[in-house]
Every structure is written in structure tokens, then in C-alpha cells.
Amino acid sequence: MKVPAAAFLKVPTAIWPILPRHIWEGSDITRNPANKRPVGTGPFRMIEYNAGDSIRYVRNEHYHMPGQPGFDELILRIIPDASARVSAYENGDVDILFNNAVPATEIPRLLRVPGTELRTARMPGGAFMGIINSRSRPYGDTMVRRALAHAIDRAFIRANVLPGISEAMLGPLPPSSPLYDRTLVDYAHDPALANKILDDAGYARDASGIRFPFRFLWAGGDIRVTKMGDVIAQNLAAVGIKTILRPLDRAALISIGYVRGEFDMIVDSYALGPDPDIGVERLYNSANILPLPFVNNCGYANPEVDRMFDLQRTQTDLVERRASYAQIQKMIWADVPTLPICAYSAPVVVRTSYVADSFTNWNTTGEDFARAKPRA
């Protein structure tokens, strides 16, 4: 490298897939038939993919760890309906539910199944983010975005949609980051203040009590965000904002929301780690205003924020870099181009009466079932 890179040592902990050159080189990567016959060095080999139903793996006899894995076969079931997933677990048709496959409000019910344990682990920067489209009127007005922050009851969402597996997140960085600024002050849930901000900014209600519409998009298969959307619609109705709820399949969300920008807010799950240069800056640097998913889709542009991102990138002293990121966080939190709904942990419901040694690592997203084995 020609200059120091503060985030460099965190790069190996990010997800970097390795593609064999002799298989993918010279082809359209997105259409290569090898995509459905993945090559890997893990404990299991994929042998069967039934679209919309299941993925079947068998033991890799050449796995480098002696005696692993402990199971001969691994089947991943695809069950879009949350109620059906809960029933499948209760009936013994599945033995593990992971992360967003676990309906958070159904955890007490699942734990009543004999031999069941709940395990949670903080995701590496996992957070639900509300991406606000500042290129859509009136959401380019900072006062409107601040009114949204006061109107939406994020504490209620944490307590009722993701009980026990979520925490408050203020500003652009996740609380798990060593650079997170814990001095930031929250936008308290205050509908009266939100109404006053909108009144003072000149956004009057019409004869029906509506100030303006709010196009809310999300991946409809994510029941967590579906419930968040219901709460947000009720919250915004109290301040004269009419929410248009629009659940979409993932492909449509990318096309309509992220690429074409036809939204006022998208709520989605983001990985903001393992370092903010990797997981956070992409959402706020004006160089990343692109028709692509998971970049600066809010259209936020603050030259001073851009300058500070550039400045801290080569700061290898943690104290110095923390000071730079503190400035970045204060500026972004004041502008509210995104509204962090919450940081969250990954819940895992495991039938430990049958499966031993699974999901015991702090980073549950790295579980490969190599050490998992039948309970003796």
C-alpha cells in the first residue's frame, strides 16, 4: 500500500468469496451454471437444490479437520411463512431456526418445546436502517427528517418487534463499534414536537388532516419489517403524514427502490461492520450516490462529511481516529439522512436435545456446522 489504511486489518473478517478463476473467468458471473453447483472447501458439499423448497448437503469426506463434521447430511429448508416455520419446529420437521427465520415475538412459544435453547450473538454491525430519500420532496428538508425521527417510536419497535434481541442505535455507527460515539443525544419520541416542527416549517395539513404522503418500501418476506411498517404508519398518522405501505419481493425492491429511487423510506437490514470504512461510509459518502443497492441511496451530500471520511482513512492511531469519527457521527446525526431503527443480535432456536455444539461461536453468521454433532 502507498498510504496507511486504518480499516485494513478488519478486511479479513468481512465476507470475501473466492471464485475459482478457471470456472468463472470469461463468463457472465451472474449466469454461470456453476452458481448452482458451488465449489468450496467446507465441511459439507451441496448436492441438490430444489428451488423454493430445500438445499441438501452431504459430508465432505476430504474436510481438513479430522472427525468433522459430525453429521452425514445437512438440509436447509426454505419456508417463507413464519407460522409454518414455527409449526415445522414444533412438529420436529426442523431442528434449528436462525436469525430472521425466528419470529421474535414467537420466541416464548418456541422455548416451550422440550429440549430447546435460545442463543443470541451480536451480529458484526447488524442493524435495521431507515433510508430516507432526500431527493424526494419534502424529505430533502432536514427539519422534515428530524420530525420523522421524533415521530417514530423506535423504543416501542425494539420492545415489541425485536424483544430481547435489539438495542438503541444513535447515529450512523453500530453500538458494537469501538468508534461509536456514546455522547450523541437521541431524538426522543415526541409527536407534539414533531407536529410543531412540521407546522413551523410550513407543512400545513389539508382538509383531511394530511400534510404529505410517505412511500414506505421493504422486502415483504421480512416479517420483522412488516411489523415495523405497521408501527411507523400509526406513528406518522399522528403527525399528519399518510404512509403508503409497499411490500416488494427482493428483486422488485432493488429495482424500484434502490435503483430507480421511487421511495421515501426503505427499511432494510444492514451489515455495518466490521469497520465503518467498510460498512458505514458507503451509505453517506457523496461519491457513492449510485443506482445500486446498499450504497448512498438517500442521496446525502455533505462536503465536510466527505472530507472527514478522507481524513480519518489513514489515521492508524485509535484515539485520533475516534475523534474524527465523532465529528462525522455528529454531523450525520444532525442531518438525519438515515434513521437507525435499532441494532440487533441474531437469535438462534436450537433443539439441543438432538444437536450438540452448534452456534456456540460469538459470530453466529460464521456457523458452518463442522463441529455440530448428534447429541449423545
Bond before 178 cis per omega within 30 degrees: no
Q: Which domains are assigned to the chain?
A: 35-122+346-374 (3.40.190.10), 123-344 (3.10.105.10)
Sign for the pseudo-dihedral over CA of 45, 48, 49, 55 = negative
Residue 89 in grid coordinates: 419446529
**DSSP letter at 329?**
H
Coil, strand or helix: which one is 3? coil
* Cβ contact 59:73 at 8 Å: yes
Bond before 38 cis per omega within 30 degrees: no
What pLDDT score does 12 carry?
57
| pLDDT-derived band at 367, boundaries 50, 70, 90 | confident
What pLDDT score does 1 carry?
63
Look at strands 265-271 and 212-219 and give their pairing: parallel
| pLDDT-derived band at 130, boundaries 50, 70, 90 | very high
- Mean pLDDT over 271-296 rounds to 96
The CA-atom distances, in angstroms, between 265 and each of 198, 276, 292, 314 are 18, 22, 16, 33
- Mean pLDDT over 344-352 rounds to 92
Indicate if the pLDDT at residue 14 is higher than 60. no
* Cβ contact 312:326 at 8 Å: no
| pLDDT-derived band at 181, boundaries 50, 70, 90 | very high
Alpha-carbon gap, residue 331 to 302, rounded angstroms? 9
What pLDDT score does 20 carry?
84
What pLDDT score does 36 carry?
83
Phi, psi of 271 (to 5 degrees): -100, 110
